[in-house]
Amino acid sequence: MPHQSLQGKIAIVTGASKGIGRVISQVFAREGASVICAARSRDLVEETAHLVTAAGGRAIAVACDVSLEDDVRRLVAEAVEAFGAITTLVNNAGDGGPTKPVQDYTMEDWRYTIDSCLTSSYLCARFVVPEMIKAGGGAIVNISSTAGRRGLAYRIGYCSAKAGQVGMTYGLALELAPHNIRVNAIAPGAVEGDRIDRVIAGQAAVRHTTPEAVRESFVSRSPLKRMVTAEDIAAAALFLCSDAARNISGQCLPVNAGEPAG
């Protein structure tokens, strides 16, 4: 039976400066992967790489903006220079963008959110896939969102970008199967942490209610009556990138405490 291990894998994790990306980087390294931690903030992404290496793992930090073509090209080149190949990609980078009514959602808001969440995933796939083909195969996981499947009011850019990641997953899974490259997505529900706190504050402001009421609305629609954690998302990513998931591709896995995903 294949093991849920990443021994010998070489993984790029984007958005690795904190939250889900930091935890995925740590879990992947603990399970044997060499990790390229990528994020815009040099100080924070270097801190992630230090946490990995201090725990005995292998990691480098690359400060870059994965919504920019030249930065992604450099990221891939540095990964190959450091570890010789790339077998695994987790497209986790992305800013949620503003919480506001669509009539107030500017073109700048739209472009920023789409580029941050969706264009970044496309660019990373574009430049990583040739390296995976050279390596004889690989695994890509796109961190989408339940909001990309069932929607969320006042978050039009984020919902659109995350739905786009799911569509990209389905298309790439078909295209890349002949190269032994599996492509899947994870659709987290509300994830405990700073980001959901900002979303809750934004929703409370636009709905003219309290943060406590908004938080309760997120929790109450989950049958398990709780939010999920970054560790839950990292566990799902570990499985999907491991040989234990060798026959799983073109899927979107909800990790949302039982909330209907739409």
On whether the CB atoms of residues 89 and 67 are closer than 8 A, the answer is: no
Cα 244 to chain centroid, rounded = 20
Q: Is 112 a catalytic residue?
A: no
* DSSP string over 56-79: T-EEEEEE--TTSHHHHHHHHHHH
Tell me the C-alpha distance between 228 and 223, whole Å: 12
Quote the tokens at residue 236.
Answer: 């799902």
Catalytic residue among 105, 122, 154, 158: 158
> Among 209, 15, 166, 30, which Cα is nearest to 96's?
15
- CA nearest neighbour of 42 among 17, 60, 67: 17
* Positions marked active-site: 158
